[in-house]
């Protein structure tokens, strides 16, 4: 059986004109005013709510297989649906590493069985993320998972010869290398952003040039090879300038910023609370402003959450011993609203581009990030932009409690998420997952 029809009434399409949307058999059947639907249709009253295409995250850590104490595909994808997402790209640093066709297919199956969002595995660039030899890139690309994005995220592909070979390899099937830009020799033992705060606190500094030097090298390699490179979690003003220069030269580079790098600064390290320890580190207020401007002018293409859940014991310890990373799927849209929409830097239509259309385009995910138009897959999210909420990580769907926004009031609330015609969130609460049987019937 397929899902019943859905009628969304009086939604603000991309924050502008009011429309009704009729969904049938997983697709948008009608779009207009005063639409009618069959008696069996589910009606969603959406007056005052902003209607966006379902969000797509190019940078999610689901941890499974191997680190189910931190997150599972089930809990991570529930978190994604709660945050308005209909697709996520699962990073490769699981255990075992997603460096073979078998592992990426396992991750894909886990996503299908969970039924909350589409899970697109990211393949490792090198075997075991060790940076010594290329992984089974071709086999992963040809597998049922049809991997198109490859990354050693968490580690940098710092060997330029390997990076060049990887770029050459993925060019054959229009893939992309997503680089974690961090020169390891410049960040050995680093604990936080190198600057005035690190000097005062006596913590080993993480210089901006460690990120910028890798980005500069890789855009030149991408130009030389004629391939696509994507920069993960760009965090410095200098990185913005390098990417902007590369785009002006026509180099096929895209870049992402995380919500936390758009809002938080290295001043928070003064608390010595490890919840603020992240890779790359929180930077200066000047860097934050540069990133916001770069999203607004298109230099930064997408928002990637870098959702990185950890068990409590890995975060509730002294700073030097703590794991790096923050959760982000359930708060990303709110942070983007606060830092970019409510400040007037971008519109809701821009949000649709940076959090849906362009992420799907970069990761080559068919059916995701599509315009809200008749005949398109019904991947949709309804947001109440007037709502306010205090962040309580214990209420999140993710296993991770390491949210840097604990106790903060953020704007916006996801009221409904619809994945190919199936509501996974309704009235601001989790609904039901899509069953594999329903998915098979629709196919």
Q: Is 155 annotated as a binding residue?
A: no
- Whether 306 sits among the annotated catalytic residues: the reply is yes
224 is in an annotated binding site: no
Counting runs of H as helices and runs of E as strands, what totals does the chain give? 14, 19
Partners of 6 in the β-ladder: 23, 42
Tokens of 37: 């639907």
**Is 61 labelled as part of a ligand binding site?**
yes
The contacts of residue 153 (CB under 8 Å, 6+ apart) are: 59, 91, 92, 93, 122, 178, 180, 232
Cα→Cα distances 4→8, 19, 24, 37, Å:
13, 20, 7, 11
The answer to whether 234 is a known ligand-binding residue is: no
Relative orientation angle of helices 160-171 and 208-225, to the nearest 10 degrees? 40
* Beta-carbon-side half-sphere exposure of residue 194 (alpha carbons within 13 Å): 13
d(CA 308, CA 258): 12
Quick one: which of 82, 48, 88, 52 has its CA closest to 386? 48
Distances (CA, A) of 364 to 153, 173, 196, 256, 351: 18, 11, 41, 16, 19
| First-residue to last-residue Cα distance in the chain | 11
Is 59 marked as binding a ligand?
A: yes
Say if residue 230 carries a ligand binding annotation.
no
186 is in an annotated binding site: no
Among candidate residues 306, 314, 358, 384, the one labeled active-site is 306
Catalytic residues: 306
Binding positions are 59, 61-63, 93, 153, 180, 233, 279, 306, 310
- Report the binding-site residues for substrate: 61-63, 93, 279, 310
Binding residues for Zn(2+): 59, 61, 153, 180, 233, 306
């Amino acid at each position: 059986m397929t899902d019943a029809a859905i009628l969304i009434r009086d939604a603000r399409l991309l924050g502008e004109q009011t429309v009704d949307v009729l969904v049938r058999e997983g697709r948008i059947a009608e779009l207009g005013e005063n639409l009618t639907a069959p008696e069996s249709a589910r009606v969603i009253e959406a007056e005052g709510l902003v209607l966006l295409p379902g969000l797509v995250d190019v940078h999610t850590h689901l941890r499974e297989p191997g680190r189910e104490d931190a997150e599972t595909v089930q809990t991570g994808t529930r978190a994604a649906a709660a945050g308005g997402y209909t697709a996520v790209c699962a990073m490769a640093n699981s255990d075992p590493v997603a460096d073979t066709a078998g592992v990426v297919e396992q991750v894909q199956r886990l996503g299908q069985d969970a039924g909350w969002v589409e899970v697109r595995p990211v393949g490792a660039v090198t075997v075991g993320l060790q940076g010594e030899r290329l992984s089974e890139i071709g086999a992963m690309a040809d597998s049922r998972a049809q991997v198109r994005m490859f990354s050693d995220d968490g580690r940098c592909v710092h060997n330029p010869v390997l990076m060049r070979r990887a770029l050459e390899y993925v060019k054959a099937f229009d893939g992309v290398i997503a680089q974690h830009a961090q020169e390891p020799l410049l960040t050995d033992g680093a604990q936080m952003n190198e600057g005035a705060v690190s000097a005062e606190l006596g913590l080993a500094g993480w210089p901006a040039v460690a990120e910028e030097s890798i980005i500069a090298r890789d855009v030149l390699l991408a130009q030389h090879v004629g391939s696509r490179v994507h920069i993960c979690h760009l965090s410095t003003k200098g990185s913005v300038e390098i990417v902007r220069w590369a785009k002006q030269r026509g180099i096929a580079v895209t870049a992402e910023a995380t919500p936390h790098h758009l809002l938080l600064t290295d001043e928070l390290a003064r608390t010595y609370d490890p919840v603020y320890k992240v890779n790359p580190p929180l930077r200066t207020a000047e860097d934050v402003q540069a990133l916001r401007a770069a999203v607004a002018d298109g230099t930064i293409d997408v928002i990637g959450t870098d959702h990185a859940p950890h068990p409590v014991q890995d975060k509730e310890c002294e700073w030097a011993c703590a794991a790096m990373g923050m959760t982000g799927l359930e708060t990303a849209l709110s942070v983007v609203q606060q830092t970019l929409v409510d400040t007037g830097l971008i519109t809701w239509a821009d949000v649709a581009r940076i959090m849906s259309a362009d992420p799907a385009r970069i990761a080559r995910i068919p059916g995701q990030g599509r315009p809200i138009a008749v005949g398109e897959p019904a991947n949709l999210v309804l947001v109440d932009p007037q709502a306010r909420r205090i962040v309580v990580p214990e209420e999140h769907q993710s296993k991770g409690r390491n949210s840097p926004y604990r106790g903060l009031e953020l704007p916006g609330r996801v009221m409904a998420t619809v994945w190919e015609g199936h509501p996974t969130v309704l009235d601001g609460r989790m609904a039901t997952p899509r069953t594999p049987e329903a998915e098979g019937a629709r196919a």
